[in-house]
Amino acid sequence: MLKKISILLLLCTSLFAQKKSSNYHYRFEVGSYFSIYGKLPFWQANNQWGAIPDKANTLVVKQRIQKDYDSTSRFFKVGFGGEVMSVLGNQAKIMLPEYYINSKLGIFEICAGRKREVIGFVDSTLSSGSITWSSNALPLPKVQIGIPNYTRLIFNWLSFKGMYAHGWFGNQTFVKNYFLHQKTLFIRLGKPNSKLKLHGGIIHNVQWGGTPKYELPPSEDRFLNGKFPADFYTYGNVVIPFKKLWNSKDSLYNAFETANRFGNHVGSIDLGADIDLPKARILVYKQSIFDDGELFNLVNADDGLYGFSITSKNKSPFKKVVFEYLFTKNQGDYVAGLARLLNFTDRHPNNNNFYFNHAQYYDGWSYNRRTIGTPFMTPQENIRNENRIDNSSVFVNNNKIVAFYGAILNQIGKIGLVNRFSYSRNFGAFNNWGIEDLNKLFVTQASYSMMGVFYVPKLKADICINIGIDHGDLVKDNFGAYLSYVRKW
């Protein structure tokens, strides 16, 4: 029923798009993927919102409709959007990468459906991906209320924004009918027109509830009566995960939940600066990941995504440059330098994190087997056979990573070019989940992509060419290309 409604929505609203209203946008794309290996190269497969075919050497057709908010309405506004993707060939299928309706009432916005969004303080166009919520997986269907734009809080130089959401993971490989809890809060120091603005925020995501589809020995205590708890008491522990506030009913739940926390908590603390110069805009940011309590006493403060972005205001061909560094080797294994400097101690000794994996939710921090966060946390089924492990309950068996990433946006006349390059050293994971002895061996991986967009006036359309190359020991060497025709109204 949902697919029928979404397709009908696209067909009906596309009629309005033909009226050339500035609020309506229609996009048509047809293209084909080619690959020598049969799979898409790394930067063609990742950060595509999950809207890709399972294999290369196939034809895809995409249609997208979007209605923006009416600028003439000051208080109440309504918008919606949707996309249908058809994959043709022997793996034919239809996907709905996006379908949503949103409304704005004053400073508040309510959104329902599947909508593309990058959550976190990173470069929104060329980043490798926000560390816990990137553009790598298909958006989860959810209901969300929030304040999307910075809003003054008491003083002109103090603003805030945030949101609160409930989502559905649906039926995954190992667990079905479980939920997403998500909330964010960001603070900005600096007036809207200030040359320097400082940003700080927290992102909190939780997988909770649901029914496991796997079996455990009777002695195991990871679920009770064949399910994970999903009552209001559990939800309270999910929203406010501080045990001292919620310990009165522990006897009614399994020992795994009460000894740890209810659900799988993944999030980040984001800090950054926005510098507005006469000839350029500069972003500097750090996203610190948390999976347990280590971050709050700075034990794993060195883990996270470090970024630098510079956007040119001149007419030069170089429009934007982004550099990022990802480090996830700590995971509570040692006390980071900042914590040692402040004389902080580890309150959770010998309690290492296992980023994007979980002992109850075997699907890990993923949706439809695609990583929700940074794409460098590659699912083990996507890496070389010799680097995999015989343990299906592990989603990412390589989560101790040091990665370097760079991207450049050029505009030469009517030709747009985007180059991406990444180089990573991959150290496996803790408890022999990884490739080899973690301190003695690592495997390297380099990936590159170049996308060119050429506007053809006679066709009134863009011709897009995307080339991807992989070389290294983590995934198979590969070369692929994507050629497409894009028309917009």
What are 66-70's contacts with CB under 8 Å, separation 24+? Answer: 66/24, 66/25, 66/26, 66/27, 67/13, 67/16, 67/23, 67/24, 67/25, 68/22, 68/23, 68/24, 68/25, 69/23, 69/104, 70/23
Kindly list the structural domains of the chain, giving each domain's residue range(s) and its CATH number in brackets, ordered by start.
2-488 (2.40.160.130)
Q: Which amino acid is at 427?
A: F
Percent of the chain at pLDDT exceeding 90: 62
Say if residue 74's pLDDT is above 80: no
The predicted structure's pLDDT at residue 131: 96
Residue 247: pLDDT band with limits 50, 70, 90: low
The values of phi and psi at residue 385, to 5°, are: -55, -40
Secondary element (H or E) of residue 82:
strand 76-88
Q: Which residues contact 106 (CB under 8 A, 6 or more apart)?
A: 75
The predicted structure's pLDDT at residue 405: 98
Pairwise CA distance, residues 236 & 246, whole Å: 8
Pairwise CA distance, residues 422 & 445, whole Å: 8
Mean pLDDT of 295-304: 80
Say if residue 327's pLDDT is above 80: yes
Residue 246: pLDDT band with limits 50, 70, 90: low
Percent of the chain at pLDDT exceeding 70: 89
Prediction pTM value: 0.90
Q: Which residues contact 57 (CB under 8 A, 6 or more apart)?
A: 33, 34, 35, 38, 89
Say if residue 244's pLDDT is above 80: no
3-state DSSP call for residue 423? strand
- Mean pLDDT taken over the chain: 87
Q: Which of 205-209, 315-319, 361-365 has the lowest average pLDDT? A: 315-319
Pairwise CA distance, residues 28 & 61, whole Å: 8
Residue 294: pLDDT band with limits 50, 70, 90: low
**pLDDT tens profile 426-446:** 988 875 444 444 344 689 999
Provide the 10 A C-beta neighbour count for residue 28: 15
Q: Determine the straight-line distance between the first and last CA of the chain, rounded to whole angstroms.
A: 28
Say if residue 219's pLDDT is above 90: no
Pairwise CA distance, residues 276 & 272, whole Å: 13
Residue 257: pLDDT band with limits 50, 70, 90: confident
